[in-house]
A and B are shown apart, each in its own frame.
Chain A
């Protein structure tokens, strides 16, 4: 009996340790992209598409809960689920949470071969006005998955809109896009929006 207690206690300790490790691993949010020193985010919240609409807010909340429940279930990858959850937080205008789940998604991309979360992080920081951070995020999306046209378009448009004087960066982004897709009219049309 005494021995059983000892064994039970030991198991409990082991469980606690393992649980703690699991909890730590699950709850720790690795920061894939820190905020650029030039940026100052006054508020992480913004007016999302659902902001101010209780019905839609509730819908998003339920969506988040449901998506969280699917983790590890196998129907969807955790990467996709985290991106999905981040998207729901975007609808709610909760930038901080969106940032958290995009970071979680990136952490799941072991080979760092997916640009989706990076692209969405660029869109998030663009909306938050953290333009240098957004620039870095868009840039990484286009670099990691250069074969995805949308990432090039997003990065190039962002540079033209917010860094129109940085011709070097714009030209470099344009060259990278053209290298992958050729001289698409869309590229030139975007480039033409910046000062010559």
Chain B
């Protein structure tokens, strides 16, 4: 809140002040209206609000009676005194306004009072101008730098449009001011001026008139020059009555359109002038253009002070090289050299300029390099400038010349000028800008200990032209393909120097290892054939004549290529491994200088190219090993009928342009839509042949790199009904060498043997996945009965229709038949169908007919069709004991289709029966199931009555009650052990005995006192209850077998189990199943599923021990301890 209030207050005050300021701005008060303290208070308040300086200045001016105005340009200021703290007046105001306009902050504005703020601003400005010390004292140096009466110059900024209506002239921002010069030095900096051309045309400045200023004499400046950077623009000008000027009707300096240049006035400072002050003032400029209206002369530079000091000395030697009067055209020729003696201290060579005073053209000598003591310094100079000078500007990286003798030389490449002269000369001492390393001022060089005079080499005449011939670095060296045509064998570089040279002929010699020569030799000059084509006879100079078509331009490198076929002169093929080398033979007056007309030998000596080996090319076609012989079906679409690999040799890559697939008449009649595809990418190659012929050419355009391979597949549609046995494509390919362009042809090859035949689908019971026989509870859904494996050959197949058969007597126990399989996408599919009683005349089976299936059998693979049944409950009609197996009808209701659309309606010669393998594929329906478990009696065997010899439990499934009516025990015993049979053997259920009769398998009743003979070691004892024993759904009954045991001895053993002797199901009445002592079942039981009558042993829902869970089972194992 406080902040908000404060802001509100400030805003109110500011608003009021703004209003006041506005009023003040438009209604200046009389100066006497406010006291200085009042004005100061207002100004302080404005400053606290952050008002900009110009606003404050205007307000202050208004308050103090001044006139608000735009800041004056510095040129409007006139400084007749130095300004510092405490100074007041219009000059201070003007300075302040100029500083503010220049971006130097004076928070109080242009008050006319030179205070601390103004001093700080002045100090900042001085720093920006490199004025030292930058302490804020506005003295003579600063006043000069501020361009008294002139405009501080700003060179044009690249990219920024230069405005104005004519040539602008201004003092350069880096014009020297107050620097200390040294009496006797060379080219002391007096002033620097910037010329700006805002127009669209270049302006030649033809006159620049200057005036010496400062406490000095005309003689103080012994030589005055105008420089542009390191380059001297003018000869020295004399100073007379303080005036000097530079004139050149062609332009002392030319300022390009929309550009700028800066020129410096440099002068040698006479000795014994220490204490003087000297500067320059530009008083007028004449040019081919008009001056901008803003330009006001004179433009005065700063004044420099001349001091006394001992400078280093630099003395050029009397002798300047070279001294020869003629010189052949050549590279790296020393055009000027002198030994310079440096004394007192080291100097820095900052620039070096020579002038050619010979007759050569400026481009005749090129590539000048400055060397000091044998080492190049600075950058090369490409050619002689339009003023005939070459200037090395080392200002960016001056070369330090230590005291002593230093060899300075300039070398260049003489490329032209035959018959003309050149002579390079150091014209002025100042052309060698050598700066004292201590005093940082240029040293006035001397010559031979005296006043400098020009140091010139001897004038030399350039001899007639020469031609150098060398093997090019790019001259071929790689192997050449056998039989290749138009092969480049050699590349030479020819360079004329001194003058253009016409080469009238060349001798070309081919040296081959087998002395065959080369066929069809050609000479190419810069890529164009010159002369005629000739065979290159082995080891013999073959002269190619060119007329006037072979002119070498002086100083330019010409490329000469020698081509020929990689064949003998008779056109015969080479043998792999042979070599050839090209040599340009020594010429004999076969060249002529185009200026001198002198004869020249081209080349002057035999010049050999590389020896090249001829090797066989290499496009090889082979049958692709990754694709073997195939059997494909008639009618197959887009069948892969062949595959081959193209390989190239190491010599070069090959552009394959033709592939030919050859077929016999029968073969071509078998297919349509023949096409090629890149095996790696699948991209088609060439165009499809809808109706193939015996020779099918495919135009191709692909490259195989050297030592590369590409495998190509051949596809076609195989016509339906085709059956011609073997089908073999023959492939061929041709192309051209990637480098040589020579034709290459692969040897044709027969590809894979394709046997055109019919696809096959076969079916069989999948024994491994067909479940073992089992009892299943009625009402269970999804009971797997059989699994059938279908196998395809030569084509994928889709089984669309199947007829499933189930024995008719089991049909009422099945609600539906369910098929499970995978479709072509691998997705599990489940379909169901009801049964109909209609299979065969005898109607032995019920059938479920499936149509619209999508059962997919992959190519040359197999897939499973699993058959399930949903069982009916007993309530819904299932019959206990129904034996459910499934069959696939082999010749009815079956349909499968291959990839060509051909169908098969016959699985095989017989139905596929899930129960075909014993013990598999039949499910027996039960309303409920018994499970027998036991915790065997294992206590020590004791003699006596009521001995437990076995214990077991029968559990009825929760689905329903069960009954049992016979149980048989298998007894194993030690021979001496006796088991009472007549009276004491009992089957107990809890505390009650189960009423019934025991017997053995040898008789219906136990008539003897012992179950078995004493000597017997095993036997069965059978119990048949008086009435069926019922166990409720989900309930259990536990029984204990007891008898009297005797005859024990140490080690006696008695074990009892319930066996599982039935190997097949029997269903019927109890008697039919077996309740006699001699009958097989170990357990006769019923699921009590019959409801049409009261259940008893006569109902037909009884069955045997087959598939009863946990049978056989041990129920007792007792021993007598030793």
A residues whose Cβ falls under 8 Å from a Cβ of B: 47-50, 53, 56, 63, 67, 70, 75-77, 80-81, 83-84, 87-88, 90-91, 109, 111, 113-114, 116, 119-120, 122-124, 126-127, 145, 147-150, 153-154, 157, 161-162, 181, 184-186, 189-190, 192-193
A113 touches B958 (CB 8 A): yes
Residues of B within 8 A of A76 (CB): 873-875, 1091
A147 to B1034, CA, bound (A): 12
Q: Please state if A157 and B784 are interface contacts (CB–CB under 8 Å).
A: yes
Given A75-B1091, A193-B769, 10 additional A-B pairs, CB 8 A: A53-B834, A84-B873, A87-B876, A88-B815, A90-B815, A90-B870, A147-B931, A153-B784, A154-B784, A161-B820
- List residues of chain A with CB within 8 A of the CB of B833: 49
Residues on B lying within 8 angstroms of A by beta carbon are 768-769, 771-772, 774, 776-777, 779-784, 815-817, 820, 828, 830-834, 848, 870, 872-876, 929, 931, 955, 957-960, 1033-1034, 1091, 1109
11 A-B pairs within 8 Å (CB atoms) are namely A49-B816, A49-B848, A53-B834, A87-B872, A87-B873, A119-B782, A120-B781, A123-B782, A148-B957, A157-B784, A193-B769
Choose one: A87, A88, A111; the contact of B1034 (CB below 8 Å).
Answer: A111
Q: Report Cα–Cα, A76/B1091, bound state, in Å.
A: 9
Question: CA A39 – CA B9 in complex, angstroms?
Answer: 70
**Contact between chains at B816 and A150 (CB < 8 Å):** no
Measured CB to CB, the closest approach of chain A to B826, in angstroms, equals: 11
Bound CA–CA A193/B870 (angstroms): 23
A47 to B1091 Cα, complex, angstroms: 33
A63 touches B870 (CB 8 A): no
Question: If A77-B1033, A80-B779, A157-B784 touch, does A91 touch B830 (CB 8 Å cutoff)?
Answer: no
Residue of B nearest to A151 (CB): B780
Which residue in chain A gives the minimum CB-CB distance to B777?
A116
- Cα distance A67–B820 in the bound complex, in angstroms: 29
Is the pair B828, A161 in contact by a Cβ cutoff of 8 Å?
yes
Contact partners of B771 in chain A: CB under 8 A? 153, 186
Is A123 in contact with B958, judged by CB distance below 8 angstroms?
no
Q: In the complex, which of the residues B782, B816, B1109 contacts A122, with contact meaning CB atoms closer than 8 Å?
A: B782
Q: Is the CB of B768 within 8 A of A80?
A: no
User: Is there contact, CB below 8 Å, between A87 and B830?
Assistant: no
Partner of A91, one of B782, B816, B957, B959: B816
Is the Cβ of A127 less than 8 Å from the Cβ of B958?
A: no
Q: Are A91 and B834 in contact (CB under 8 A)?
A: yes
Flag if A56 contacts B784 (CB, 8 Å): no
In the assembly, what is the distance between CA of A63 and CA of B774, in Å?
A: 28
Whether A150 pairs with B774 at a CB distance below 8 angstroms is yes
Q: Beyond A114-B959, A161-B828, A162-B828, is A148–B929 a contact (Cβ under 8 Å)?
A: yes
With both chains docked as a complex, state the minimum distance between the C-beta of A142 and any C-beta of chain B, in angstroms: 13
A residues in contact with B780, CB < 8 Å: 116, 119-120, 150
Inter-chain contact B815/A154, CB cutoff 8 Å = no
- CB distance A116 to B779 under 8 Å? yes
Instruction: Specify which chain B residues have a CB less than 8 angstroms from the CB of A123 in the assembled complex.
Output: 781-782, 870
Which of chain B's residues have a CB closer than 8 A to the CB of A148? 777, 929, 957
A66 to chain B, nearest CB (A): 9
Contacts of A84 in B (CB 8 A): 779, 872-873, 875-876
Point out the residues of chain B lying under 8 angstroms from A162, CB to CB. Answer: 828
Chain A nearest CB: distance from B696 CB in Å?
A: 45
CA A131 to CA B568, docked complex, whole Å: 80
Closest chain B residue, CB of each to CB of A149: B774
Q: Are A189 and B958 in contact (CB under 8 A)?
A: no
Greatest chain A CB density within 10 A among B783, B784, B876 is at: B876
In the complex, how many residue pairs between chain A and chain B have their CB atoms under 8 Å apart?
A: 122
* CA gap between A75 and B957 in the complex, in Å: 17
Chain B residues contacting A81 (CB-CB under 8 Å) are: 875
A192 to B955, CA, bound (A): 33
Closest to B1107 in A: A149
Most chain B CB neighbours (cut-off 10 Å) among A70, A75, A127: A127
The 8 closest A-B pairs by CB, nearest first: A49-B816, A123-B782, A49-B834, A123-B781, A114-B958, A120-B781, A84-B873, A49-B832
Report Cα–Cα, A124/B931, bound state, in Å.
28
Q: Are B875 and A80 in contact (CB under 8 A)?
A: yes
Instruction: State A114–B816 Cα separation when bound (angstroms).
Output: 22
CB distance from B1037 to the nearest CB of A (A): 16
The residues of A that contact B782 with a CB separation of less than 8 Å are 119-120, 122-123, 126, 154
Cα–Cα distance between A154 and B777 once the two chains are bound (Å): 13
* A61 nearest CB across to chain B (Å): 13
User: Measured between alpha carbons, how far is A145 from B496 in the docked complex, in Å?
Assistant: 107
State whether A189 touches B776 (Cβ < 8 A).
Answer: no
How long is the Cα–Cα vector from A76 to B960 in the complex, in angstroms?
Answer: 9
Chain B residue at minimum C-beta to C-beta distance from A157:
B784
Q: Which residues of A contact B957 (CB under 8 A)?
A: 114, 145, 147-148
B868 nearest CB across to chain A (Å): 8
Contact of A145 with B769 at beta-carbon distance under 8 Å, contacts A80-B779, A123-B782 already known: no
User: Do B781 and A63 have beta carbons less than 8 Å apart?
Assistant: no
Q: How close is A174's CB to chain B, nearest CB, in angstroms? A: 15
B955 CB contacts on chain A under 8 angstroms: 147
B783: A residues at CB distance < 8 A: 150, 154
Given A116-B777, A150-B777, A186-B772, A145–B958 Cβ distance below 8 Å?
Answer: yes
User: Across the interface, do A80 and B873 meet the contact criterion of CB distance under 8 Å?
Assistant: yes
* A116-B959 contact, Cβ under 8 Å, with A84-B779, A184-B772: yes
Residues of A within 8 A of B781 (CB): 87, 90, 119-120, 123-124
Given A87-B815, A114-B958, A150-B777, do A50 and B828 touch, yes or no (CB 8 Å)?
no
With a cutoff of 8 Å between Cβ atoms, the chain B residues found around residue A50 in the complex are: 834
How far, in whole Å, are A145 and B955 apart by their CA atoms in the complex?
A: 12
Bound-state CA distance A147–B774 (Å) is 13
In the complex the two chains form, what is the Cα distance from A192 to B769 in whole Å? 10
Q: How far is the CA of A49 from the CA of B870 in the complex (A)?
A: 10
**Whole-angstrom distance from the CB of A146 to the nearest CB of chain B?**
10
Complex Cα distance, B929 from A124, in Å, reads: 24
Report B497 CB to chain A, min CB distance, Å: 81
Q: Using Cβ atoms and an 8 Å threshold, which residues of chain B touch A154?
A: 782-784
Chain B proximity of A177: nearest CB distance (Å): 12
Q: How far is A148 from B779 in the complex, measured between Cα atoms in Å?
A: 13
* Smallest beta-carbon distance A176→chain B, Å: 15
**For the complex, what is the distance from the CA of A90 to the CA of B833, rounded to whole Å?**
11
Q: Out of B817, B875, B959, which one reaches A67, CB within 8 Å?
A: B875
CB-nearest residue of chain A to B1109: A147
Contact A113 B1034 (CB under 8 A): yes
Nearest B residue (CB) for A76: B875
- Taken together as a complex, chains A and B put the C-alpha atoms of A49 and B783 apart, in Å, by 15
Q: Is A120's CB under 8 angstroms from B779's CB?
A: yes
Q: Are A83 and B873 in contact (CB under 8 A)?
A: yes
What residue of chain B has the Cβ atom nearest to residue A113's Cβ? B958
Shortest distance from the beta carbon of A128 to any chain B beta carbon, whole Å: 10
- A87-B870, A149-B774, A186-B772 known; A126+B830 contact, CB < 8 A: yes
Residues from chain B with Cβ under 8 Å of A80 in the complex? 779, 873-875, 959-960
- Hey, which chain A residues are within 8 Å of B831, CB to CB? 47
Say which residue of A47, A119, A150 sits within 8 Å of B832 (CB atoms). Answer: A47
- Give the residues in chain A near B779, CB-CB below 8 Å: 80, 83-84, 87, 116, 120
State how many angstroms separate the Cβ of A53 from the closest Cβ of chain B.
7
Task: Decide: A88 and B876 in contact? CB cutoff 8 A.
Answer: yes
Do B830 and A189 touch (CB < 8 A)? no
> Interface centre among B781, B873, B959, by most A CB within 10 Å?
B781
CB distance from B1085 to the nearest CB of A (A): 15
Q: How far is the CB of B108 from chain A (nearest CB, A)?
A: 78
Residues of B within 8 A of A49 (CB): 815-817, 832-834, 848, 870
Task: Name the B residues within 8 Å of A119 (CB-CB).
Answer: 780-782
In the assembled complex, the Cα of A81 lies from the Cα of B875 at a distance in Å of 7
**C-alpha gap A189/B828 in the complex (Å):** 19
Task: Name which residue of chain B comes closest to A64, CB basis.
Answer: B876
Q: Which of A49, A114, A122, A124 has the most CB of B within 10 A?
A: A49
Name the residue of chain B whose CB is nearest to the CB of A121: B781
**Residues on the B chain within 8 Å of A124, using CB:** 781
B878 CB, min distance to chain A CBs, angstroms: 9
